[in-house]
Amino acid sequence: MSLDHYVTLGRSGLRVSPFALGAMTFGEEPGGAGCSVEESEKILATYVDRGGNFIDTANFYTNGHSEKILGDWFAAHPGRREHVVLASKFFANLFPGDPNGGGAGRTSIIAQLDETLRRLQTDYLDLYWLHNWDRHTPIEETLRALDDLVRAGKTRYIGFSNTPGWVTAQAQTTALLKGWTPLIALQVEYSLLARTVEGELAPLALDQGMALVPWSPLKNGFLSGKYRRDTQVIDSARTGFVGGPSEDEFTVIDTVAAVAEELGTTSAAVSLAWLRAREGTVVPILGARRVEHLENNLAALEVTLAPEHLHALDEVSAPTLNYPASMHGALRAMLQFAGTTVDGEVSTVYPPLLQSDVRY
């Protein structure tokens, strides 16, 4: 497989590479962990030259510098912009003291998109994400504003990120009932060390035909392969993060490393291949501060995990999900199917029924 083996993004006609390129690290900020303009351009060129076409940024990444770097690069390479899927996000307020400078209200969405398009030097986005839930704005206002922007040609598709399952479900249902532009993808935290998305958002996405686009697929570098027991790691990319992996996380990291050794590849490649093997369409976002980081992660394109590898990784990283997810496993089948097999799901008999068949 390679970056030019494209997949359809959710229930849409948009085709994207199996890995997106994240531009959060593009641009240097005081105290940050980004990379220079020159290195950012090398990373971008490497990704595009290898057939990559899905690039993700946000209005506040490096205070807008990320978008500007992308815009300058595309301006210097005529004809490239039209052949990539360019995505950005709105929500963050870049104007201290202005309560309408961010969020998801109609005024702020339009203003934020105009600023994003100016920095990117383009007249449209292919995908526009809500970056976070704005609990102070009715979801209908957000959706209608986004639908208007789609109809005006300023963005082609829309998606949500970091938004509760019930809000996302309400939004999608509202859009479908009113004939507004529906969501085609959800950008979520998802990795072998962060699987709680499987409680609500992943099943919702699968049901509604929405793609999952995981951010931090290597969990802030923990799954990169450089974190090992009794080894101190100094990494400028983790500025602001405290401590290293927990004991439970190291158990997962050890299993990933064992699978990687067996396959002759890296822990990062195994972790990314596991994500791509999840049910539905899953397109992880690769972040990089150096070209070699990107090239190392793209090794995952050559990795296919066998059923026994997937089982081992699934088992060791199994998440503890919030109620009511705990009620949806063996107990549900026991109560519902009463010892029968339905759609391949085998059940046992609920204990009281073993004692008597008396009905009252």
Non-local (6+) Cβ contacts of 110 within 8 A are 145, 149
Element (H, E) at 248: helix 247-263
Element (H, E) at 8: strand 7-8
**Cα–Cα distance for residue pair 52/47, rounded to 1 Å:** 5
Give all strands of the β-sheet with 211-215 in edge-to-edge order.
211-215, 183-189, 155-161, 125-130, 85-90, 54-56, 20-22, 285-287
CB burial of residue 198 (10 Å; 0-12, 13-18, 19+): middle
Amino acid at 293: H
Amino acid at 79: G
Q: Report helix, strand or coil for 315.
A: helix
61 catalytically annotated:
yes
Amino acid at 147: D
* β-pair partners for 213: 187
> Nearest CA to 127 among 41, 211, 66, 3?
211
With tokens 């996380």, the residue in question is 249
- Pick the catalytic residue from 6, 47, 61, 350: 61
The end-to-end CA distance of the chain, in Å, is 60
Active site (catalytic) residues: 61
